[in-house]
Amino acid sequence: MTFTFLDIAIFCTYFVGVVLFAVVVTARSKNKSSSDYFLASNTLPWYVVGASFIASNISTEHFIGMVGWGFLYGMAVANWEWGNAATFSVLIWVFLPFYMRGNVSTMPEFLERRFSRHCRCIYAAVMIIGLVIAMLGGVLFAGAKALNVFVPSMSMEVSVIVLALAAGTYTVYGGLLSAVWADFLQYVLLMIGGIIVSVFGLYYAGGFGELTRDLPEKFIMLYPSTHPAIPWTGVVSMLVSVGVWYSCANQFMVQRCLGARSEWDARMGVVMAGFSKAILPFIVVVPGIIAFHLFQDRISDGDQAWPFLVRTFLPSGLAGLVLAGLASAILSTLSAITNSSATIFTLDLYKPLLRPQAGDRELHAVGRISAVAVMIVGILVALILVRNPGVTVFGVIQTTFFYIAPPIAATFLIGILWRRATAAGALATLILGFALYLPLTKYVLFPRIPWLRPYDNFMHHTFAIFLFSAVTLIAVSLFTRPESADRLAGVIWSRSALGVLASERHRYRGFRSLGLWWALMVALIAALYVWTNSRGSRTAWLEAEETAYSLTGGGSALVQDRGTLPEFNLWTGKGQVLFKPAAGDNAIRFSLSVPEAGNYAVDAVITRGPEYGAFRVLVNGQPASMRFLTAARSGTHGIRAAWKKTEVFDARRSAEPATEDLAGLDSVAGAHVVQRISLGNFVLPTGAATLSFVPENAGQDMGWIGVDQIMLTQRDPQPGD
C-alpha cells in the first residue's frame, strides 16, 4: 500500500495539531509553580484522568507486540488487559485514598513516609533506569519500526528523532498538564483507529461467530502451568507480583491520578480506564487472530500482523487516520515516561539529596532540564536498538518490568496492609530482591532444579522473587523494632478507604456513585472473560514437541527449536517436530489423549517452506480430507476468503515469494510460514487416538514435514463437515 496525499495530509495535520494543542493548553493555564508542572495544578477531571491513564499505557508494545502475540496465542493474551479488573480495584479501594488524602506527589515519596528515605532513593533510581532504558528507548525504537513499515522512505533513525521531538516539545514545556490533555485527544484517536482496523477485519473474516467456529483454540484463556509463554499459574501470580506494582505503584501511571481535582475524580478516572481495558482486547488482540485466520500464508512474523491489516484493508484517508492513531499511542507513552522520570528525579533525588532548600522556580527549571536529559538518553538507547534489529522490544519491556516489579510490589502491598512492617525490613527486601533473589531465581533455581525446569518462565520467576521478597520483609520486620502509631498515621489501610470522603459524598450519590460504576466495570470484564473462555473451553491445544510420537518404516525426527529460522517467529511452545522421511513407506505418528468418547474436530498447524514436501494425514487410520483457508483480493480494498479442500497437502513454498501473490494480495512473508489445516470430524473413543502424517511420493525428492500444533475440539457434527 502506498500512502496517498490525503493520508499524508491527515497524518501531518495530527502530528502538528497535537503538539500545538498541548502547548496552547499549558500557555492558557494561570498556574506556573513546580507543583503545577508536576501535578497539573490538581485540576484534572475524571474523564481526562481515565483517558490519560490508558493513553500513557497503550503504545506500539500493544499495536505491534500484543497483536503479534494474539496471532500466536489468541485471546489468552487478553489476560494482560482483563486482569486489570483486579489490580484497578486494588488501586481504587486500597492505594488511591492514601495517595490523595496524604497529598503524595510521587510513589517514592509515599515509600519514604511509610518506611525511610533510603527506600525512597532506591526505588527512585530503579524506576528511572527501568523507565528510561527499557521503556522510553524501547517505545521509541518500536515506534520508529512501525512508522518505517508505513513510510519506508523515512529511516528509523529519523523516525526516532521525529517522535522524540514531538513528544518532548509539549512535555518539557508544559509538564503533566500538557501531557494529560494531549493524552485525552490521543486517547480518542487511538481508540478510533484501533476500532476501525478491528471492524474491517471482522467484516472480512465473517464476524466473531466465524472466528470462534474456525479457530476455537485461539479462544482458550488459560494454558497449562508448563506453557512456556502464558502459563495459567503465571497469569494468576502476575496480578499480585506485577499488577500491583504496575497499576498501583508505578509513577508514570499513578501520576495521572495524583493530578485529579478530587479523590472522586481520581478513582472514577481509574474506573473509566477499567471500561477501556474491557474493550482493548478487541483492538489489540483480536486483530492478531484475524490476521492468522486470513493471512497466515502471507506473514512470517507476528509483529507484522497489525501493519499488514492496515495496509491491506483500509482505503485512502482511513489509513492516514489509523496511522495517526498509532502515533498517538506512541507519543502519549513517550510523554508519560518523560514527565514521570523527570518528576521522580527532581522530587525524589535532586531535592532531598542535592538541594533540600531548592525553591519553586529552581525545581521547575530542574524538571524541564531533567526531562530533556531523559529524552536524550532515550534517543541514544533507541538508536542502539536500531543497530540491533533482532531485539524483541515486547520481550525486553515485559521481562524488564517483570523483574523490576516483585520487590517493589511486596514492599508496597505488605507495607500498606501490615502495620508491623518496618523500615529495616523494607530496605532488606529492596536490596536483596534486586541484588540476590533476581539472579538466583533466573540463573540458578529454575534452570538447575529438575522439578522447577518445566516451569522455567519469566512469569514464574517473578512470582518466586515476590515470595522471597515478601518472606524477607515479614521476617526482618518481626526481628526489628516496630514503627510508632504516630509514624504510621495515614499510611496504613483501614476500612475508611472504602468510602468517598464525607465532603464529596453528597455530590456523588445515585447515578454518580463510585461503587456502582466500579461494580459495572468488574461485571463487564468478568462477563467478557466467561463468554470468551466458553468459546474455547472444549478445545485441547497440544504442542507437537510435547506430544508422544513414533516413526514407522524409517526416517528421522527431531524437535526444532524456535529461533532457528531467520525472520520467522511463528512457532508456539518450544518449537516444532521436524520429520525427515526416508525412501520407502514411512510416516510419523502422534499419540493423542482423548479424555472421553465423542465427536471431535481435529486440526493441525504445520510449516511451509522450500524444503518441505507433500503429505497425507490419517486419523485412527482413516484418511483425512484436509481444508485450509485462502484469501484473495476482491475489488480495490475488499477481501474474499474461501476454503480449499485436498487429500494431499503440498507444503512446498518458494524460497523467494513474489511481493504480490497470485491472489492479488501483498505478502510480507519470507521463505517460511505456518498453515492451519482442518482434518475434519472424527468419532474418537476414550483413550488414545493416532494422528499420522504420511509423505506423498516417497523418493529422492521428498520434502520434510513440520508439525507445530495439534488441536482436538469436542463438538456436535456441523453441516458441511
Work out the angle at residue 307's Cα, subtended by the Cα atoms of residues 193 and 400, and round it to the nearest 5 degrees. 90
Map residue 213 onto helix, strand or coil. Answer: helix
pLDDT of 300: 84
Query: Who wins on pLDDT, 348 or 504?
Result: 348
pLDDT of 569: 81
Domains 5-534 and 539-714 share a fold: no
What cell does 615 get? 503429505
- Read off the amino acid at residue 603: D
pLDDT tens digits, 504-548: 766 777 788 888 999 999 999 999 999 999 998 899 999 999 999
**Count of beta carbons in the 10 Å neighbourhood of residue 714:** 18
Q: Is the pLDDT of residue 26 over 90?
A: no
Average the pLDDT over 183-187 and give the result.
73
Alpha-carbon distance of 74 to 72, in angstroms, equals 6
Q: Is the pLDDT of residue 33 over 70?
A: no
H or E stretch including 523? helix 514-534
- Dihedral pair phi/psi, residue 474, rounded to 5°: -70, -45
- The gap from C-alpha 166 to its chain's centroid, in whole angstroms, comes to 24
Class of domain 539-714: mainly beta
pLDDT of 102: 77
Q: How many CA atoms lie within 13 A of 419 on its CB side?
A: 9
Map residue 629 onto helix, strand or coil. Answer: strand
Query: Who wins on pLDDT, 543 or 193?
Result: 543
Q: Are 457 and 476 in contact (CB under 8 A)?
A: no
Give buried/exposed letters for 591-608 (b at 16+ CB in 10 A, else e). Answer: ebebeeebebbbbbbbbb
pLDDT tens digits, 286-337: 999 999 999 988 888 887 788 888 888 888 778 777 777 777 777 777 777 7
Please report, for residues 46, 562, 647, 651, the alpha-carbon distance to residue 673 in angstroms, rounded to integers and kept in the order given.
46, 13, 21, 10
H or E stretch including 630? strand 626-634
Average pLDDT over the chain, rounded to an integer: 83
End-to-end CA distance of the chain: 37
Work out the angle at residue 289's Cα, subtended by the Cα atoms of residues 287 and 292, and round it to the nearest 5 degrees. 110
DSSP string, 19-79: HHHHHHHHHH-S--SHHHHHHGGG-B-HHHHHHHHHHTT-SHIIIIIIHHHHHHHGGGGGH
Alpha-carbon distance of 344 to 127, in angstroms, equals 8
Q: Is the pLDDT of residue 661 over 60?
A: no
- Global model pTM greater than 0.85: yes
Map residue 564 onto helix, strand or coil. Answer: coil
pLDDT of 721: 47
pLDDT tens digits, 632-656: 877 666 788 889 999 999 998 866 5
DSSP string, 634-677: ETTTEEEEEEEEESSEE-B--SS--SB-TTS-B----S-EEEEE
Please state whether beta strands 598-608 and 626-634 pair in parallel, antiparallel, or not at all (unpaired).
Answer: unpaired
- Read off the amino acid at residue 451: W
- Picking from 413, 430, 420, 416, the residue whose alpha carbon sits closest to that of residue 469 is 430
What cell does 76 get? 489468552
Alpha-carbon distance of 692 to 622, in angstroms, equals 10
Q: How many CA atoms lie within 13 A of 353 on its CB side?
A: 15
- Picking from 164, 302, 128, the residue whose alpha carbon sits closest to that of residue 229 is 302
Identify the architecture of domain 5-534 in CATH.
Up-down Bundle (1.20)
What cell does 93 get? 479501594
Q: Is the pLDDT of residue 659 over 50?
A: no
Q: Is the pLDDT of residue 5 over 80?
A: no
Work out the angle at residue 474's Cα, subtended by the Cα atoms of residues 469 and 479, and round it to the nearest 5 degrees. 125
What cell does 341 get? 522520570
Please report, for residues 610, 636, 674, 675, the alpha-carbon distance to residue 580 in angstroms, rounded to integers and kept in the order given.
14, 42, 18, 19
Average the pLDDT over 436-446 and give the result.
91
pLDDT of 371: 83
Alpha-carbon distance of 92 to 316, in angstroms, equals 43
Alpha-carbon distance of 128 to 509, in angstroms, equals 40
Q: How many CA atoms lie within 13 A of 270 on its CB side?
A: 34
Of the pLDDT bands very low, low, confident and very high (cuts 50, 70, 90), residue 162 is: confident
pLDDT of 226: 84
Map residue 688 onto helix, strand or coil. Answer: strand
The residue extents of the domains of the chain are 5-534, 539-714
What string of H, E and C letters represents the secondary structure of 254-307? HHHHHCECCHHHHHHHHHHHHHHHHHCHHHHCHHHHHHHHHHCCCCCCHHHHHH
pLDDT of 104: 78
